[in-house]
Chains A and B, each alone.
Chain A
Amino acid sequence: MAITLEQMRHTAKLARLELSDEQLTELMHHINALMAHFERLQALPLDDIEPTSHSFPVYNAFREDVVGETLPREEALANAPEARDGLFIVPRIVEE
């Protein structure tokens, strides 16, 4: 089940990665080499097996609904590439 360049383009878009066709083609060869090795997973009789998402069952972890310690706003913004007036600044989203 090899991945095509068209699928690579679509997947890169989903993953928000700006990659050239040249980069995608190189990656595609690597990924297809790996996928070929992992093909044998498809042959396993797994129909009646329950999937495991965690090695130990984890159930909802509840706590009392009380306000705990929170990060001061200035500290939360300290690493932002751009911040102003207590907010993260992003490139314009809505056109005028």
Chain B
Amino acid sequence: MQELLTLSLAEISRRLQQREISAVELTEIMLTHISTVEPKVQAFITPTPELAREMAREAQARLDAGERTPLLGVPIALKDNLCTKGVRTTCASRILHNFVPPYDATAVRRLRELGAVFLGKLNMDEFAMGSSTEYSAFHITRNPWDLERVPGGSSGGSAAAVAAHMAYATLGSDTGGSIRQPAAFCGVVGLKPTYGRVSRYGLIAYASSLDQIGPITKTVEDCAIMLNAIVGKDPLDATSVDLPVPDFREALVEDIKGIRLGMPKEFFGQGVQPEVAEVVRKAVGLLESVGAEVQEVSLPMAEQSLAIYYILAPAECSSNLARYDGVRYGLRVGAEKGHIGMMEATRAAGFGKEVIQRIIIGTYALSSGYYDAFYLKAQKGRTLLRQQFDAVFQQVDALVCPTTPTPAFKIGELVDDPLAMKLADVLTIPVNLAGLPGLSVPCGFVNGLPVGLQIIGKPFDEMTVLRIGYAWEQLACLRDELKIPTGLRTAPN
């Protein structure tokens, strides 16, 4: 693999700015690399080589004119639930197999304006519902560390593409762990920003009170650069928050003296593989040795999070997915069955099993007579969880724990088990329910598979989260080990 490909976004950006390589040459190198690696990994649903070439030419013209911004000319890729003007956006679903958005998502538009080069749209679990990318209606994606294992999900394509150097960075979305869990499984960095930090306009909705867009990158520095590009108030998303936006690169200081870290004991307990807990404990120990103050804390409601999530998320999804009715876009079948029959036939044919399951749970939980027992209870549970996080953040600046209970599992291993797959998100879901920022950074290996360290911050305190992540990254020195994933090492180059 060429050295150029394994550089970070920040490093390749410097080379572009110093004119050591042109954006056009770089894009050609990336496209050639993708054609070699993609048959093994299958991270993309829709590659866009022609668009990439055109955007690279435009970016190079801006570089030639003297513009110096960190994303100009950098090849990136996008999860396929982010609307891209003129480029098919499927959400990995048959029901949207032919949908071409007439507009860009706000986060996508910002990256476009900053001159990033779009390589294509990435695979995911259908409508972002899943933890392995096996629920894509099109194909599975393989983990670059072990091609027999899943990359995680739902942003599995986004994480696998970065790990396999098929993009310098990607965007994903995270409703219950869908950025952090695949980032952990693939040995890359993934950030779910605070709810409200990033506009969701143009993100195809799953559970609107939980969804958030965020970057997946090779380094914490790259994560800060991507976050700078996509944050901020957007009049098109009423839930985006009007707060001052810092330069997140200022968080990249190699000093965490006096930072108070909490280890929530529930996140190291039941269901967490002991080897995973051990790797993370060691990492926390190392952070302590350079001046962090570590204490154990408790969040008892975290153990109820899965139950709360699997009421709230399906309830919101059953409402959000009502729009797919065969009238305005996407699939239509059974036109001869009348308008209701057409809708029922279209939805049954267009949605996969997992999506149908969640629509049914959500519809049931919201239906007359069950609302109080399910939806209202879950919302109240969410309040208690949030209160416990608030109380813990009186004592500490951030929480540290594993991102996932286990490393990446095998393809097919959990696909038919309704509960086991969902347990992969048990450590990430509480963060979405409370709306907090959460970062996963590579932390070490268990049986040759990457493990993620999750850093959870106070609302809108991505700065502290990135600072801890950066400090850990400098201490851990895993970059060389992470450079070429084992699943790709057999390649002749």
- The answer to whether the Cβ of B339 comes within 8 Å of any Cβ in the partner chain is yes
Question: Are B360's CB and A41's CB within 8 A?
Answer: no
With A18-B345, A37-B307, A41-B304 already in contact, the answer to whether A49 and B380 are too (CB < 8 A) is yes
Q: Which of B337-365 contact A (CB under 8 A)?
A: 337-345, 347-348, 351, 353, 356-357, 359-361, 363-364
- Residue in B102, B331, B335, B384 whose beta carbon sits within 8 Å of that of A46 in the complex: B384
- Residue in B326, B351, B377, B386 whose beta carbon sits within 8 Å of that of A41 in the complex: B377
Residues of A within 8 A of B238 (CB): 58, 61
- Given A51-B382, A79-B329, 13 other A-B contacts at CB below 8 A? A14-B367, A16-B340, A19-B356, A30-B357, A31-B360, A33-B418, A34-B422, A37-B306, A38-B307, A41-B311, A49-B380, A56-B241, A81-B326
- The smallest C-beta distance from B168 to any residue of chain A, in angstroms, reads 31
Question: CA separation between A80 and B346, bound complex, in Å?
Answer: 14
Question: Are A55's CB and B434's CB within 8 A?
Answer: yes
- Residue in B235, B373, B459 whose beta carbon sits within 8 Å of that of A56 in the complex: B459
With A91-B337, A92-B338 already in contact, the answer to whether A56 and B196 are too (CB < 8 A) is yes
Question: Are A41's CB and B341's CB within 8 A?
Answer: no
Question: Are A16's CB and B325's CB within 8 A?
Answer: yes
Interface of A toward B, CB cutoff 8 Å: 1, 3, 7-8, 10-12, 14-19, 27, 30-31, 33-34, 37-38, 40-42, 44, 46, 49-56, 58, 61, 63, 71, 75-76, 78-82, 88, 90-93
Instruction: Name A's interface SS.
Output: loop
Question: Are B327's CB and A88's CB within 8 A?
Answer: yes
Question: Are B433's CB and A55's CB within 8 A?
Answer: yes
Using CB atoms, name the residue of chain B closest to A39: B307
Question: CA separation between A27 and B235, bound complex, in Å?
Answer: 40
Instruction: Name B's interface SS.
Output: helix
Most buried by B among A7, A42, A54: A54
Question: CA separation between A19 and B345, bound complex, in Å?
Answer: 8
Using CB atoms, name the residue of chain A closest to B433: A55
Question: Are B100's CB and A44's CB within 8 A?
Answer: no
Question: Are B329's CB and A42's CB within 8 A?
Answer: no
- The interface size of chain B toward A, counting residues with CB under 8 Å, comes to 71
Question: Are B307's CB and A41's CB within 8 A?
Answer: yes
Question: Are A91's CB and B433's CB within 8 A?
Answer: no
Most buried by B among A42, A79, A81: A81
Residues of B within 8 A of A55 (CB): 195, 209, 382, 386, 433-436, 459
Question: Are A11's CB and B363's CB within 8 A?
Answer: yes
Question: Are A78's CB and B326's CB within 8 A?
Answer: no
Q: Which of B75-99 contact A (CB under 8 A)?
A: 98-99
Residues of A within 8 A of B99 (CB): 79
Residues of A within 8 A of B100 (CB): 78-79
Question: CA separation between A84 and B98, bound complex, in Å?
Answer: 19
Using CB atoms, name the residue of chain B closest to A41: B307
Using CB atoms, name the residue of chain A closest to B101: A79
